[in-house]
Amino acid sequence: MKYAILSFLLLLSSLGSYGQNTATLTVPAKPDRTISRHIYGHFAEHLGRCIYGGFYVGENNTKIPNTAGVRNDVVDALKKLKIPNLRWPGGCFADTYHWKDGIGPKDQRPTIVNTWWGGVTENNSFGTHDFLNMCELLGTEPYLAGNMGSGAVQELADWVQYVNFGGVSPMSALRKKNGREQPWKVKYWGIGNEAWGCGGNMTAEYYANEYRKYATFVSDWNNSGGLTRIASGANSADYNWTETLMKVIPKNLIEGVALHHYSVINWDKKGPAVNFNEQQYFTTMKQALFMDELIQKHSAIMDKYDPEKKVALVVDEWGGWYEVEPGTNPGFLYQQNTMRDAMIAGSTLNIFNNHSDRVRMANLAQAINVLQAVILTDEEKMILTPTYHVMEMYNVHQDATYLPLTVKSTDYTLGEQKLTAVNGSASRDKNGVTHVSLVNIDPKKKQEISIDIDGATYKSVSGRVLASKSLQDHNTFAKPDLIKPTAFKGAKLKGKTLQVDLPPFSVVVLEMK
Ligand code: AHR
């Protein structure tokens, strides 16, 4: 009798800690959408130790193996991620940056004081050639952020000519003199950054008119197969900004509108990156999942002016933003990266995949040593963060055919507050392999999900999972592999149903053939 009661209680407790969810995966006969690989883009600003010490350690560094000053370990790690594009040189820094200061002999370059980030003096040793050559090394497309805030139209027009023109001109001659014969053919150009704030504190109307002028002179020099000009976009839910840009800027002058949204608890009290409590976790995830509503509402505005969806929504800054690590320069935005960040990354990328008809480019902020980084470095040491692993697991979706996955999720509750516990997305790659990515943000409950498959039959399922013992777990220089993906055994195919058991706060990517 005693044992019967005990087993009953055990059964009850296991039921209580399990969420039941359903979903439908549809495999259309004629799929009409691709998930652009550019959704998986990154961001490298002259901020703290992102460029100097992160990407670049200088050509004369004998301690850290490098190629033309760029760390070899970083190049190897980012190649494995298959990063499709890299945004540079900012951020707020971009609107203070004068590109001509970063070309020519390094010992003759003027210095620049980084007024936005720590007030440090930089020697401009990492400039246009260094960045664009590094992109070639990484096999990634550069996304240059032009200076509209404090730079002239001519300065931006010259930069485009310098990097993109193959013929005879003053700027191409200067490029050749500096050692680069062929143009780099840079396709992605940002026209200012956060023009509503650090980029010049402009009104939407004023910016939109300025944009028209700058965009006119950003020519493709008949060389790069058409440019993608990206307007500085809204701050989170500033829908009026998007509306004004779409109304005022003619469609022949714009290919992308940006959007910035950070998962921040409170701008005045951001909370720690590691020792956060469950309420702080909940609020961060609420902010991260808000991305879905933001995209829906900004897209609805864009649909009014651009029903054919020619203009892309480019979420060129996203990620978690917390207090800096104790003892580090507050202007350098260096923070650790835990399983909470894995939840942000997995959920946000699912949201982007599901809105890939309009969201065709995005940039995680930032790549190394800043905010939600994929890589952290300490002199010659380098570690990969949980966010890196999510990005790597999800790269199967790059340029794959989008497959609709609708999830009916239970709630993750904290007191009276609730959030959707499970989110997901799916795609089919060029080899016909289907990938399903699922996130359970609930820190306490496992989630069971039963997925009906409509339109295809699969024979096998396998997968990988990113999970850990505690939400606060993170990789350190002493324990670099505490969190890394492992084989996942919790998925079973039963005819047309895929049954998955998701551990608490986990990211799973399944492969079905
Ligand atoms: O990513 C850090 C900063 O956040 C960027 O420089 C700016 O654009 C944003 O406010």
Ligand 1 centroid – CA 194 distance (Å):
8
Ligand 1, closest atom to CA 91?
6
Ligand 1 centroid – CA 317 distance (Å):
7
Task: Give the angle subtended at the CA of 128 by the CAs of 126 and 132, to the nearest 5°.
Answer: 100
Q: Which two tokens stand for residue 103?
A: 């070309």
Active-site option among 317, 392, 448, 511: 317
Q: Which two tokens stand for residue 164?
A: 């993109």
Q: State the angle between helix axes of 204-217 and 153-164 in degrees (0 to 180), rounded to the nearest 10.
A: 40
Question: Please, what are the domains in the chain?
Answer: 18-30+404-512 (2.60.40.1180), 35-399 (3.20.20.80)
pLDDT value at residue 237: 98
For a mutational test of ligand 1's pocket, the pick from 92, 232, 235, 318, i.e. the residue with the most ligand atoms closer than 8 A to its C-beta, is 92
Looking at the chain, the number of H-run helices and the number of E-run strands are 10, 27
Ligand 1 centroid – CA 201 distance (Å):
14
Q: C-alpha distances in angstroms, 109 versus 103, 106, 155, 183?
A: 7, 5, 17, 22
pLDDT value at residue 213: 97
Ligand 1 centroid – CA 147 distance (Å):
14
For a mutational test of ligand 1's pocket, the pick from 270, 317, 324, 366, i.e. the residue with the most ligand atoms closer than 8 A to its C-beta, is 317
Ligand 1 centroid – CA 222 distance (Å):
32
The DSSP bridge pattern shows strands 359-364 and 41-43 to be: parallel
Mean pLDDT, range 367-374, rounded to an integer: 98
Residue 255 appears among annotated catalytic residues:
no
Of all residues in the chain, the percent with pLDDT exceeding 90 is 95
pLDDT value at residue 4: 58
DSSP SS3 for 39? helix
Ligand 1 centroid – CA 500 distance (Å):
38
Work out the pLDDT band at 358, boundaries 50, 70, 90: very high
pLDDT value at residue 3: 55
Ligand 1 centroid – CA 53 distance (Å):
19
DSSP 336: -
The pLDDT tens digits of the residues spanning 25-73 come to: 999 999 989 999 999 999 999 999 999 999 999 999 999 999 999 999 9
Ligand 1, closest atom to CA 371?
1
Residue 278 appears among annotated catalytic residues:
no
Mean pLDDT, range 310-338, rounded to an integer: 98
Mean pLDDT, range 316-329, rounded to an integer: 98
Residue 225 has pLDDT above 90, yes or no: no
Which of 427, 471, 465, 399 has the alpha carbon at shortest distance from 37?
399
Mean pLDDT, range 87-116, rounded to an integer: 97
Ligand 1, closest atom to CA 317?
1
Ligand 1 centroid – CA 114 distance (Å):
13
The pLDDT tens digits of the residues spanning 112-146 come to: 999 999 999 999 999 999 999 999 999 999 999 99
User: Which of 19-33, 220-234, 422-436 bottoms out in mean pLDDT, i.e. has the lowest?
Assistant: 220-234
pLDDT value at residue 2: 55
Measured by CA distance, the residue closest to atom 4 of ligand 1 is 91
Work out the pLDDT band at 13, boundaries 50, 70, 90: very low
Which residues contact residue 174 at a Cβ distance below 8 angstroms, ignoring those fewer than 6 apart?
A: 103, 162
Work out the pLDDT band at 483, boundaries 50, 70, 90: very high
pLDDT value at residue 6: 55
Of all residues in the chain, the percent with pLDDT exceeding 70 is 96
Element (H, E) at 137: helix 128-138
Site residues for ligand 1, CB cut-off 6 Å: 45, 90-92, 193-194, 317, 365-366, 371
Mean pLDDT, range 423-443, rounded to an integer: 98
> Helix %, strand %, coil % for the chain, to 5?
30, 30, 40
Mean pLDDT, range 475-501, rounded to an integer: 97
pLDDT value at residue 223: 62
* CA 351 to chain CA centroid, nearest Å: 12
The pLDDT tens digits of the residues spanning 269-294 come to: 999 999 999 999 999 999 999 999 99
Measured by CA distance, the residue closest to atom 7 of ligand 1 is 91
The pLDDT tens digits of the residues spanning 140-185 come to: 999 999 999 999 999 999 999 999 999 999 999 999 999 999 999 9
The pLDDT tens digits of the residues spanning 377-416 come to: 999 999 999 999 999 999 999 999 999 999 999 999 999 9
Work out the pLDDT band at 12, boundaries 50, 70, 90: very low
Instruction: Give yes or no for a contact between 49 and 69, defined as CB atoms under 8 angstroms apart.
Output: no
Ligand 1 centroid – CA 333 distance (Å):
10
The DSSP bridge pattern shows strands 434-440 and 506-512 to be: antiparallel
Ligand 1 centroid – CA 392 distance (Å):
24
Measured by CA distance, the residue closest to atom 6 of ligand 1 is 91
Q: What average pLDDT is seen over the chain?
A: 95
Mean pLDDT, range 449-460, rounded to an integer: 96
Measured by CA distance, the residue closest to atom 8 of ligand 1 is 91
Active-site option among 194, 210, 255, 392: 194
For a mutational test of ligand 1's pocket, the pick from 230, 260, 363, i.e. the residue with the most ligand atoms closer than 8 A to its C-beta, is 260
Element (H, E) at 453: strand 446-454
Work out the pLDDT band at 187, boundaries 50, 70, 90: very high
Ligand 1, closest atom to CA 262?
4
Work out the pLDDT band at 7, boundaries 50, 70, 90: low
Ligand 1, closest atom to CA 194?
8
Work out the pLDDT band at 227, boundaries 50, 70, 90: very high
User: Which of 12-26, 185-199, 361-375, 429-443 bottoms out in mean pLDDT, i.e. has the lowest?
Assistant: 12-26
User: How would you class 72 by CB atoms within 10 Å of its CB: exposed for 0-12, middle for 13-18, buried for 19 or more?
Assistant: middle
pLDDT value at residue 221: 77
Measured by CA distance, the residue closest to atom 9 of ligand 1 is 91
For a mutational test of ligand 1's pocket, the pick from 43, 45, 321, 366, i.e. the residue with the most ligand atoms closer than 8 A to its C-beta, is 45
Hunting for tokens 């933003």 — which residue is that? 321
pLDDT value at residue 11: 46
